[in-house]
Structure 1
Amino acid sequence: MKPPECIPVDQCKKGVLYVLASRNLGTGVFNGDTKEPGFIGIREKFGNYFLFTEYHYDNGPPYGTASPIKELAIVPDDIGIFESFPTEDSVTGRPVKFDTPIAQGGRGWYFTDTNEASTNIRPVGRENKALFDWIKNMNQSQDG
C-alpha cells in the first residue's frame, strides 16, 4: 500500500537521498532514470551489505516497491549515482560483457572495445564504494 506522504516520481530529484518506505531499503538515492526510476541504497542479505536498487512505487507492480517520504541530503558532485562500475577483465582492465554461453552457440565473454571474444577473460565487477560509503555515513548520522 502506498503511504499517503509518498513523494510522486515526477517530484523526485536525481542525486537526493530520501527516507523510504520499501521492502529492503530504509534510505535511497534517486537515480533519475526516466525508464526505471528508483532508489539506490544499502541492502543487507545473509550478513552481506551491498548497493541495491528498489524502484519507485509509481512504476507499478510488481517492481514498484519504494515510496520516498522525505529528502535527507544531496550526494556530492564527485560521487556517481550508480550501483557498480562496468565489468572489466581483471588481467587487462579492459571492459567486458557476456553474450550467450559458448556451449549454447554464443561467444561467452568478450571485450567491448574490440568486440573480440576470449576464453581467457577473467571478469570482475566493482561496486561503487564511494556511494556505498557516503550512504552508510549518512545513515549513521541519522541514527544518532
Structure 2
Amino acid sequence: MPKLPCVLLVDDDPITNFLNQRLLDELHLTEKLLIALNGKEAIALLQEHCAAAEGCPVLILLDVNMPVMNGFDFLDAYAELPLARQHSSVVIMLSTSLHPRDVQRVEQLHIGGFLNKPLTREKVHTILSQHFGQLLN
C-alpha cells in the first residue's frame, strides 16, 4: 500500500495523539504526520504546510471537543481557507461523545465521517478503503 503523503491529527489530549501517532506509525500509513492540540493550531499548520501542494494533509483526524477552537469551529475556518479549497482533505471527526446534538450536527456537515474513539486498525482500514481505495497490508 502506498503511504499517504500527509496526515493531520487534531486533538487536545496528548495521550490520544501519542496513541494515534503510534498506531499510524505501526501501520506505515503516512510519509508526514502533523499534530495540533486544537483547531487554531491546526489552521496554522494547514496554512504553513499547504503552501506547498505536497505538504497539505490528505487526511485530517479531528476531535470534536477541544479548547481554544473546537472541531466544528475548525471546520468553519477550514472552509474559508483558499488553500484548503485547492487541496481538499478527507476530514474524519473523532469523538467520545455520541450526544445526539453532536451526531445531528455532524450529519449536516460535508465531511468524510464520524467515528467514536479510540482510533483502531479496523477504523483506519475502513477510512482507507472508503476514501482512498486502499487496503492495509
Q: Which has the higher contact order (CA 8 A, sep 6+)?
A: 2
* TM class, shorter-length: under 0.3
Q: TM-score, normalised by structure 1?
A: 0.25
Larger radius of gyration: 1
Structure with the larger strand share: 1
